[in-house]
């Protein structure tokens, strides 16, 4: 994280959390009264997205802190719960939807650990399993070196019995988490791709081997793991490359440590194509065989998706026959042809994931 410009909401007290963050950022803080100051600063750049990755706004979350995953009614949703701790990312993946989702993009860190703790405790009191993650609008661990947040969350989740925290990342930022007593309630998850895609499309992220080495270190400290192949990019000979990534996973970690693996092919809002063409002129990622999906996102032709999924599932099952594999935003035909079933009932996929979390993460079995 290399921040050149640091803005702070003028109403924020400089408490332990904010003071720690400022001390790690090492940029002169500028107090502002209106977020439009940040918007204008970013929008006046020739490349607002690149500037936004070096501009941090520290503020409070003025909306819902805990919310349901937006999903879509057209594809099966996993009933995930989002912990909204910040927005945008300092890494620069060509395919990142956040480039087109926020107007303009603003790298925000939401302070207020005490109030966040109250929100979580209220959630923990409810009589159901919650799978909660911070990786919907930002990478969960880009903040690990600069913030008290990741450590606070791991320690907070450790003291309850019905929720699991999933921290998704493309980094290796786990140092402060390794010594913690996590009580099995935190899953550290890595987004994975082939070395070719990481090298060409995921600027500023950790290499594949570095991610897997970090996963091995986390496993050695008792953390449960997850892996997310999303987006899977279809290109010549990609099936061989993705199978090799899968083989590499099981060279580093045990199948028993993996709570789930998700699969999802590259899909994008039509407006993202122009962003990619402008910011990543060498990228060909958006020129595949795409058609509009039911959610109006561009998707690979279904036969291409199915063939790719079958290749990967076969390889995963050869190493880990019992691991839970699920699709991110796919329809009944894809599920049936690739996995032989379809979790079509309301909440069925979520319940499958809950059961896997219970079996791996010391959660209360009576709640499922």
pLDDT of residue 102: 75
Write the pLDDT tens digit of every residue in 67-80: 887 665 567 777 88
Contact criterion met (CB below 8 Å) for 204 and 90: yes
pLDDT of residue 345: 86
φ/ψ of 345, rounded to 5, equals: -70, 150
pLDDT over 90 for what percent of the chain? 85
CA distances from 18 to 9, 32, 111, 139 (A): 11, 15, 7, 19
Burial class for 365, CB neighbours closer than 10 Å (0-12, 13-18, 19+): exposed
Dist. CA 35–CA 55, nearest whole Å: 13
Q: Max CA-CA distance within the chain?
A: 57
Write the pLDDT tens digit of every residue in 103-158: 788 999 999 999 999 999 999 999 899 999 997 899 999 999 999 999 999 999 99
pLDDT band for position 362 (cuts 50, 70, 90): confident
CATH class of residue range 65-367: alpha beta
Write the pLDDT tens digit of every residue in 193-223: 999 999 999 999 999 999 999 999 999 999 9
pLDDT of residue 7: 97
Write the pLDDT tens digit of every residue in 13-58: 999 999 999 999 989 999 999 999 999 999 999 999 999 999 999 9
CA distances from 110 to 21, 86, 90, 143, 338 (A): 11, 5, 16, 11, 40
pLDDT of residue 72: 58
pLDDT of residue 101: 81
| Distance, first Cα to last Cα, the chain | 40
pLDDT of residue 296: 87
């Amino acid at each position: 994280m290399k921040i050149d410009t640091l803005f702070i909401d003028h109403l924020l007290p400089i408490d332990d959390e904010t003071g720690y963050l400022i001390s790690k950022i090492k940029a002169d803080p500028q107090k502002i009264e209106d977020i439009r100051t940040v918007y204008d600063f970013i929008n006046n750049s020739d490349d607002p997205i690149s500037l936004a990755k070096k501009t941090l706004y520290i503020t409070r979350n003025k909306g819902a802190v805990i919310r349901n995953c937006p999903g879509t009614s057209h594809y099966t949703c996993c009933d995930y719960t989002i912990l909204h701790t910040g927005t945008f990312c300092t890494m620069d993946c060509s395919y990142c939807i956040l480039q087109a989702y926020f107007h303009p993009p603003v790298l925000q860190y939401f302070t207020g650990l005490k109030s966040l703790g109250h929100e979580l405790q209220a959630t923990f009191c409810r009589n159901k399993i919650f799978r909660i993650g911070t990786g919907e609008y930002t990478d969960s661990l880009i903040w690990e070196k600069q913030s008290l947040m990741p450590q606070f969350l791991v320690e907070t989740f450790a003291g309850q019995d019905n929720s699991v925290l999933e921290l998704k990342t493309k980094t290796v930022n786990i140092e402060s988490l390794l010594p913690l007593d996590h009580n099995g309630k935190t899953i550290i998850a890595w987004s994975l791709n082939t070395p070719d895609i990481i090298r060409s499309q995921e600027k500023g992220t950790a290499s594949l081997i570095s991610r897997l080495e970090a996963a091995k270190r986390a496993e050695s400290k008792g953390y449960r793991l997850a892996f997310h192949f999303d987006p899977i990019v279809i290109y010549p000979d990609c099936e061989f490359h993705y199978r090799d990534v899968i083989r590499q996973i099981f060279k580093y970690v045990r199948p028993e440590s993996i709570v789930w693996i998700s699969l999802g092919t590259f899909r994008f809002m039509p407006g993202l194509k122009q962003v990619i063409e402008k910011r990543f002129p060498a990228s060909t990622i958006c020129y595949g065989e795409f058609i509009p999906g039911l959610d109006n996102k561009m998707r690979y032709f279904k036969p291409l998706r199915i063939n790719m999924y079958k290749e990967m599932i076969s390889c995963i099952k050869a190493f880990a026959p019992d691991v839970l594999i699920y699709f991110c935003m796919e329809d009944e035909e894809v599920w049936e042809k690739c996995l032989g079933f379809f979790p079509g009932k309301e909440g069925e996929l979520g319940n499958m994931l809950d059961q896997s979390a219970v079996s791996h993460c010391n959660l209360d079995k009576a709640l499922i």
